[in-house]
A = this chain, B = another copy of it.
């Protein structure tokens, strides 16, 4: 039924397939007699003709497809970003192939193979980790690769990210303002730029305030709920006296930390204040609602999409990397330390 081809339409109208092809392509339809064009359009419509993107792509060397690579589909933070990308794309008739690395380099490698084999016009990846430079650089010889959210030092790849350093600083200053003096952080994997940036901004700001951050001797293997929970348990067990405030490097880890807190009979923010990062869609609905930093995923997605499309059309273009500003979102998971807590010191 959708096996209607250009030839069928051409035959029905009584013209050559090329003419149909031209008439149906906005960029070339002006070369066609207005009357013939209208007739072609009409007949095409009636017959239910739809351009075969595959065939067209083969001929033109473009697939009108871009890849989106995310670390973890279960992390709700990526939903807005994906949406931003798709919204930017749909107007251009481009569709997105979405794949997940699960923070595993081998998987990532396979994913990029698949995407390459499909001749995508470009890829946006939010899954870059230190050590991926070689793979990504090689891949980017075939099509533009845009780094989103996570950057990669000296990879030379165009990057749309977010000022994690400043975000960490905002959080630190906020906790200091509340009166906290014993402050810890639950670190995400240090081969991911975002977490390095957050950590650095956070620590620097606290040091400037004369406070030394309590960091565990361990980072999360992955920035997930499970790891957040594990690290918080670790902290509760081995750190004494306990901190009055904790910075979990993303909202997912904060959720896990919250769980550990509850399991240990500690209340948040009464006993320990907790802050996260990302302003994931669910951060406003946790118990207590999470104080966090907003990373504008939707906008970031839009921009990354526009960038990758531009690059796919003009590969030589060298564009400046872009960094979006963070926004502190104050909710209820952080409060002033109680006198009782303070006395621990």
Contact = CB atoms under 8 A, between A and B. Distances in A.
A285 B288 contact: no
Interface string A94-135: 011111100000000010011111110000000000000000
A191 interface: no
Interface string A275-310: 000000110011111000000000000000000000
Contact of A114 (B74, B93, B115): B93
Contacts of A90: 110
A57 interface: yes
Given A1-B141, A54-B58, A118 B95 contact: yes
A288 B262 CA distance: 12
B97 A96 contact: yes
Contacts of A115: 95
A63 interface: yes
Nearest to A258: B285
A95 B90 CA distance: 19
A79 interface: yes
Q: How many copies does the complex hold?
A: 2
A117 B50 contact: yes
A31 interface: no
A311 interface: no
A83 interface: yes
A223 to B, nearest CB: 15
Given A54-B58, A76-B79, A86-B98, 18 more contacts: A1-B142, A2-B116, A2-B142, A50-B113, A54-B54, A54-B57, A54-B63, A65-B97, A65-B118, A73-B79, A74-B76, A86-B99, A86-B100, A95-B97, A95-B115, A95-B118, A255-B285, A285-B286
16 contacts: A2-B142, A51-B117, A52-B117, A53-B118, A53-B119, A73-B79, A74-B76, A76-B76, A86-B100, A95-B115, A95-B118, A96-B98, A97-B97, A97-B98, A282-B282, A286-B286
